Amino acid sequence: MYSGSSDGESHEAAAQRKIPPVSSMLWVRNLRRYIGSGAGLGSEALMELETKRILLDIFKEKQQKSAEAGTIPSFYKKKPEEGSISHRVQKLAKYRFLKKQSDLLLNADDLDAMWVCLRENCVIDDATGAEKMNYEDFCHIASVCTEQIGPKCRRFFSPSNFMKFEKDESGRIAILPFYLYVMRTVSLTQARIDMSELDEDSDGFLQPHEMEAYIRGLIPNLAQLRDMPAAFVQMYCRIAAHKFSFFCDPHRRGKACIKKVLLSNCLQELMELHQESEEEVTDTEQAENWFSLTSAQRICGVYIGHIQFL
């Protein structure tokens, strides 16, 4: 009995000495140290991802800088060949776009109707006798014009357009400057459409022969040039086109930018020949306008005399 109990106690003591407590095991301590409070593994993974992201951003930035420094930006695109599908699609899209823009323009009858509406609904200034309108009249005229002309005139009656004009102490604007603004906007838009139709390669520039074609199309509509001798038309178009090229093509690229042509004083001076017949203009006024028939004939005579002298 005594020996058996002694053997059992010694066996349990030996087992306790062989199995250490859980808290003292090395792998448990290492695992707890690695995990910490439960965010150790997650924090390290996030840190690794953040490091990779920063390194990737640095690599992309360096790669982009090296690509920009080692390559020349594209400044030339090959134009579609004549008769190709892309060329036909481009011409068709251009035609439809210009047709749509042309349909939105006011014609001569629309402008006349707008002028009648302006005069019928304006107020006469007692001090100056000028025909004026306030913003309420402006909105009322917009409604009347929309009913008579259509929605295409609505864009001219915006609040921003009303604020463009000088107002008197009562907040009224004169109807004549507003009407001239509408006429000039329509005229410039029509000129832009006409020039774009002649722009064969649709690059926004007019070559000399395209500019000559545009001027040739204007001659029948310009009162002072309507009776020009047929033999002189080609020479006149060439002289006028050289005038535009000189001022609108400063870099001498052989083509003039359409936007520069529209904003140039040359086009405004040419359009002045639209206003009245040449019989009503004095010789001095004809000489001052470079595009008048008198001026063109004088320039042609000087050129021919210079050639004969040489």
Per the confidence metrics, is the pTM higher than 0.85? no
Q: Is 193:101 a contact under the CB 8 Å cutoff? A: yes
Q: Tell me phi and psi for residue 124, to 5 degrees.
A: -85, 125
Q: What is the pLDDT along the chain (310 residues), one digit of tens a residue?
A: 444 444 555 555 554 555 555 555 566 666 556 555 444 445 667 777 777 888 888 888 887 877 766 666 666 777 778 878 888 888 889 999 999 999 999 999 999 999 999 999 998 888 888 899 999 999 999 999 999 999 999 999 999 999 999 998 889 999 999 999 999 999 999 999 999 999 988 888 999 999 999 999 999 888 888 888 888 889 989 989 999 999 998 888 889 999 999 999 889 888 888 766 545 555 555 567 888 888 888 888 877 776 666 5
Give tens-digit pLDDT for 90-143: 888 999 999 999 999 999 999 999 999 999 999 888 888 889 999 999 999 999
Residue keyed to tokens 């006024």: 285
Burial 216-252 (b: 16+ CB within 10 A, else e): eebbeebebbeebeeeeeebbbbbbbebbbeebbeee
The pair phi, psi for residue 257, each rounded to 5°, is: -70, 130
Domains, the chain, with CATH or none: 101-186 (no CATH), 199-309 (1.10.238.220)
Average pLDDT across the chain, whole number? 81
87 sits in which H/E element? helix 85-103
